[in-house]
């Protein structure tokens, strides 16, 4: 967690993990825009399909889950394992019948990340991310794609602000105090 008064020494792996984590957040913001536009039927000219958008969101969740820095073992477990459940669903759901459920577990990962980041940084709307992503899964399930598209675009805007804020701050802010991590 961010602690500007304290700066731990970062090795190469620490710096890489922070950069990958931030890359995952940026990639997820991009995937939210793709998904939102896809649901609003404004994507035919770009050739990016719904499946490709979900795969981009999935890849971003893997990148973030593998490189997240959270002191609490329980919170880290929930965030990481929701990504691995989505991986199982992607592999097991060969015909993409339950893609909305896969997306739901990806959204659990990023709702956790948004709440984690809201404790450290004052990004406008960050605490509302779970309130946008959770209903969007239900809206997708009930095939109310236009409303889900609007919620996903709003989430994309918020995650874009988070991404920009993360890339501007020093790397040590993401790591915090190494001794405080529960192993």
pLDDT for 1 = 47
Q: Cα–Cα distance between 87 and 105 in angstroms, integer?
A: 9
How many CB atoms sit inside 10 A of residue 2's CB? 15
pLDDT for 55 = 93
Q: Cα–Cα distance between 142 and 163 in angstroms, integer?
A: 31
Matching residue, tokens 């710096």: 15
Q: Which residues contact 147 (CB under 8 A, 6 or more apart)?
A: 139
pLDDT for 44 = 47
pLDDT for 77 = 93
**CB-based contacts of 161-167 (< 8 A; 24+ apart in sequence):** 161/123, 161/124, 161/125, 162/25, 162/29, 162/114, 162/117, 162/121, 162/123, 162/126, 163/22, 163/25, 163/26, 163/29, 165/121, 165/123, 166/22, 166/25, 166/117, 166/121, 167/22, 167/26
pLDDT for 3 = 54
Instruction: Give mean pLDDT in consecutive 10-residue pieces for the chain, a chain of 183 residues.
Output: 64 92 97 92 62 93 94 90 95 88 96 90 88 96 93 96 92 77 72
Instruction: Yes or no: say if 3 and 178 are a contact pair by the CB < 8 Å rule.
Output: no
Domain ranges of the chain: 12-177
Give me 59's structure tokens: 């890849």
């Amino acid at each position: 967690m961010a602690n500007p008064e304290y700066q731990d020494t970062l090795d190469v792996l620490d710096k890489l993990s922070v950069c990958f984590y931030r890359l995952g957040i940026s990639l997820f913001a991009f995937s939210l825009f793709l998904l939102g536009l896809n649901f609003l039927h404004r994507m035919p000219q770009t050739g990016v399909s719904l499946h490709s958008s979900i795969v981009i969101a999935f890849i971003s969740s893997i990148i973030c889950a593998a490189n997240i820095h959270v002191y609490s073992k329980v919170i880290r477990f929930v965030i990481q394992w929701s990504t691995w459940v989505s991986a199982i669903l992607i592999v097991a759901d060969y015909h993409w019948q339950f893609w909305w459920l896969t997306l739901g577990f990806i959204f659990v990962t990023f709702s956790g990340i948004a709440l984690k980041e809201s404790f450290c940084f004052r990004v406008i709307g960050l605490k509302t991310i779970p309130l946008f992503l959770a209903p969007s899964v239900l809206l997708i399930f009930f095939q109310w794609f236009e409303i889900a598209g609007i919620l996903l675009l709003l989430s994309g805007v918020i995650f874009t602000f988070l991404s920009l804020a993360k890339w501007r701050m020093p790397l040590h802010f993401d790591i915090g105090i190494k001794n405080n991590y529960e192993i």
